[in-house]
Amino acid sequence: MHVAARPNNALAAGLITLATAFIATTTLMAKALGTDTLGPPLPALQISHGRFLFAFIGLTTAALILRPRIGRPHWGLHVARSVLGWGGVSLMFASVAFIPLADATAISFLNPVFAMMLSIPLLGERVGRVRWSAAALALLGALILLRPAPGSFQPAALLALGAAMAMGLELIFIKKLAGREGPFQILLVNNLIGLSIASAAVLPVWQIPTSAQWATLAGLGLCMAVAQACFVNAMARADASFVAPFAYGTLVFAALYDVLFYRVVPDWITLIGAAIILTGAVWLALREARVRPPPDNRPPPR
C-alpha cells in the first residue's frame, strides 16, 4: 500500500516544469549521440539502451537508500507497457538525429490523441464530438509539421510519429496500472524490463562509445530517471487538469536547445504546426481531466 502525497499545486508546477527541462535535455543528448558531435554516431538502439541502463542504475541506487515498499507487480501490464515505452523512446531518439528537436517534440505530443483513439477498441470508451475535434486539431498540426510538399517532406518525421503512436498505446497500459502500484515501483519495474529488452536489441548494432559518449549516455539515463521521478510526484500532488499545461513546456526547452546548441531557429511552419498540436493536445488533456473521475488509489484486492 502506498500513501498519497499531500496536495501542493505550487510544488507540482515546479516539479512538472523541472521534468520537462530534463526530458528536453535527454533529446538534446540523444541528438548529440546520434550525430557526429561526440564521435562516430551511435545507433538509436544503443542510445535507448544507455537510457534504460543508467536510469535503472539511478533508480536502484535510490531504492537502496530510500528502501520503498515493493509489492507484487502485475507483470503482464508492465511488460506490455515497457515494450511500447522502449519502442517509443528508440523511435524518438532516431528521429532527433535528422530533424530539429522542436519538430520531433511537437509531434510526440500526439501520444494522448492516439491514446484516445485506441481507448475505444481497447478500453471500450466512448468518444464524443469535443474529444474528436481536439484530436483532429492536433493531427492537423502534425500534418503541417510533416511538410507533405515534395520539396520539404521530412521522412524522419515519420519516426517521431511512430514514437507518438507507441507512447499513445503505452498510455493505455499506464491507465491500467494506475492505482495498482506505487509510483516508484512502477518506475523501477518499467526500467528493469526496458533494460532487458534494450540489452537484447542492442547486441547486433553495439559499437564502443567514446569517453564523451559514455558520459553523455550516463547523463541521458540519469536525466530521464529524474524527469520520471519529478513527473510522478507532480501528478501525485495536483489534479491532471492543473498539471497538463505545464507538461507541454518540453517544447519550449527543446526549441531553446535548438537555438543554443544547433543554431536552428524554428521556422513559421514549425511554429504554426506546434501551436496547433499544443492547442489540440491541451484541449484534450483538460477535457479528459474534467470528464474522467479521479483514479482509485486504493491497493488492488489480493
pLDDT tens digits for 110-167?
A: 887 888 888 888 777 777 787 788 888 888 888 888 776 666 667 888 999 999 999 9
Residue 12, CA distances (Å) to 8, 18, 96, 227, 252 in order: 6, 10, 29, 13, 18
Asked whether the beta carbons of 277 and 135 are under 8 A apart, the reply is no
User: pLDDT at position 127, please?
Assistant: 73
Per-residue pLDDT at 211 exceeds 90: yes
Pick the more confident residue, 35 or 175. 35
Of 118, 166, 121, 145, the residue nearest 278 (C-alpha): 145
User: Which is higher by pLDDT, 104 or 128?
Assistant: 104
pLDDT at 301: 36
What pLDDT shows up at residue 297? Answer: 40
pLDDT at 179: 67
pLDDT digits (tens, 9 = 90+) for 239-298: 766 776 677 788 889 999 999 998 888 888 888 988 888 888 777 767 666 655 444 443
For the residues 193-197, what does the mean pLDDT come to? Answer: 96
Show the cell assigned to 87. 519502442
Question: Positive or negative CA dihedral for 278, 163, 44, 211?
Answer: positive
Q: State how far the Cα of 202 lies from the Cα of 50, in Å rounded to an integer.
A: 10
Which three three-digit cell numbers place residue 2? 502506498
Quickly tell me which residue has 492516439 as its cell. 114
Res 241: pLDDT = 60
pLDDT band for position 198 (cuts 50, 70, 90): very high
Residue 300 has pLDDT above 50, yes or no: no
As a whole number, the mean pLDDT across the chain is: 84
Q: What is the pLDDT of residue 264?
A: 87
Please give the span between the terminal C-alpha atoms of the chain, in angstroms, as a whole number: 11
Q: How far apart are CA 41 and CA 223, in angstroms?
A: 21
Measured CA to CA, the distance from residue 127 to residue 120 in angstroms comes to 7
